[in-house]
Structure 1
Amino acid sequence: MLTAKQFLKKNKTLISVVGPTAIGKTALAIQLAQHFGTEIISADSRQFFKEMAIGTAKPNAAELAAVKHHFIDSHTVKELFSTGDFEVQGLKKLEEIFQNHDLAIMVGGSGLYVNALINGLDEMPDIDLSIREKLNKQFEEEGLAVIQSQLAELDPEYFAKVDQQNPQRMIRGLEVYLSTGQKLSSMLSATKKERPFNIIKVGLNTDRAILYDRINSRVDQMMADGLVDEVKSLISFRKYNALNTVGYSEFFDYLDGKLTLADAVAAIKQNTRRFAKRQLTWFRKDEEINWFEPDERTDIIHFVTNKITGK
C-alpha cells in the first residue's frame, strides 16, 4: 500500500461529478473517463445493489462496457453498506486505480457518500441499542410519517439533507440524537480529513423546469422499461432498507392496493422532484463545486484540463 507521501508525489487527482438526479451525471462521467483514460467510482447509494436496476437508473450495458465502473451491482440489498463502509472501500479502490492512472472519476448524487470519500467521516458515538429497537418497532407499527415528524423537529438540518423516504436514514438521525443529545448534522464532517490526492469538484444543474421535465421523462422511460415488473420481482426483499426508496416504495403501495397505477407513477415523479431539490440544497453549500449546464461537457473537459495543468 502506498504511503501518503508517495501518493502525493504522484500528484493524483479525483474528479467528483455531482448534481441532482436525472441531470446527466453518468454521461458526463463516462465522457471524462474516456477523455482522460481512467475509471469511474459510483457514489450513488442505490446503484450499489445488484437486485435494483431500472428504478435506480443504473448505467446501461453499453455505458458499463465503455468505461470500467466500480460500486455498481457490488452489493446485495440484504447487506447494509454504510457511508463508513464506502469511505473505507472507496479509498482502497482509489488507491488501486491510482496505481495505473493519474486521474479517477467519482460520480453520484448521494451527498453523504460523496462527502464520506472526499472529507471523511467523524467518529460516530455509541448508540443505545434499546433506542434503535424502539424506533424500529415504532416505524413498523406507526409508519414512516411519525419518524419523519420527530426528526424534523429534533434535527431539521439533517432532515433537510437526506432522503426523507428512507427509514434507515430517518431512524439513524433520531437514534443519534436520542442516544447522545447531539444532532447528527453537527457531527458530519466537522473536521475534514486530509486526502493524499487532489480533488476537482464539478456540479451539474439547469433551470428547474427543465430538470423537472427530465425527471418526468426518466420515470416514463422506467415505466416503459418494465419498472412495475422489476418491483414485483423484489416483493420478497421489501423488508430491506434498500427497497424503502423512491421508485420502489410507491409501487409496493400500488401492489398493496393503496394506490392506483397512475397515482403511483405521479407519486414517484413528485418524490423524485423533491429529492432533487434536497440534493441541490446539499451540494450548493459546498463553495468548492464548479457548476455547469449538462450540455457544457466540452467546457468541463477544458476546465478540468486547465485545473490539472495549473493554467
Structure 2
Amino acid sequence: MTTKIIKFDNVEYKYKSSTEAELKPAVSNFNLEIEQGQFVAVIGRNGSGKSTFARLMNALILPTKGTVYINGIKTSDDGHLWDIRQCVGMVFQNPDNQIIATSVEEDVAFGPENLGIPSNEIKARVEDSLKAVGMLEYRKSAPHNLSGGQKQRIAIAGILAMNPQCIILDEATSMLDPIGRKEVLEVLKKLNSEENITIIHITHHMNEAVYADRVVIIDDGQIIKDGSPHEIFADVEGVKKLGLDVPQVTELLYELKREGFKVPLEVIDVEEAVEVLKDLLL
C-alpha cells in the first residue's frame, strides 16, 4: 500500500507587498500528491513558483489558502512543526549556507544533537549518513577544503542524519560543475532506490530531470504538465513553448525528425539514443 507523503489541496500563496498593491499569487490552484519512495523532478523557468513550492513543503511559509499535508499533518499545525521538518529535509542552492561546523562529522552531527538524540546513536547516524553519500573518509576534514560537489554531499548527509522520509533539493546542483552535479545525482538515485527516500529535485538542468520517475512542470504558479520523463520530453514543442529546454539527446532526435528522419522522441538518455541511431544507420 502506497503512502502519500505530500499533498497540496487547492493551495495558494501570496507574498506580502511593501505597498498597498495587490500581488499576484506565487502559486495558485495548486493540487499535487507525491507518494513515499517517488523520485520527482520539478522544473520551470525562473519566477515560475518552484522555490515557493519547496518552502511550502517544509513549512518555511504557510499557504494563504488551501492546505499542505506532510504525512497527513497540516503544515499550519504549529505543534507538529518539528515532526514536519524531521520528515522533510531541505537542501539549498549554496552548500556553504548549510555547513556550520569546523569538521565534516561535527557538521553532520549538528541536526541530531539539536533533536536531543543520545550520543551513541548520533555517532552511528553520522557514520551511516557519510557512508550513504560516499564521504566517510572525509569525516575529519574541514568542510571549506572540499569541492562544491563534496560539500553538497555533506549537506545531504546532514539531512540524512535526521532520518527524513523525504529530501527536497531546491536548485541544489545549480552552483556545481558537471562532475559535482553527477556526484550528487548518483547519491540521490541510490538513496531513492536503496533507502526508499522520497526525492523532490527542483532543477533547471533538463539532463538531471531524466533521473526522476516523474517530472512536474510549474509555470506561472500552476502545474502545467505532470508525467514520466519520457512522456514530458517527447512533447518537445510544448516544453519549448514554456521557455524550457529538453535533454540534449531528445533535442538531437527532434532536429533529425524535422529533417525527415523517422525517429522516436521518447528518448531521454545517451544509451537509448545510441540504439535509435544505430538502427537508423544500419
What interval of TM-score do these two structures reach, taking the shorter chain for normalisation?
Answer: under 0.3
Higher helix share: 1
Higher strand share: 2
Using the size of structure 1 for normalisation, the TM-score is 0.25
Q: Which has the higher contact order (CA 8 A, sep 6+)?
A: 1
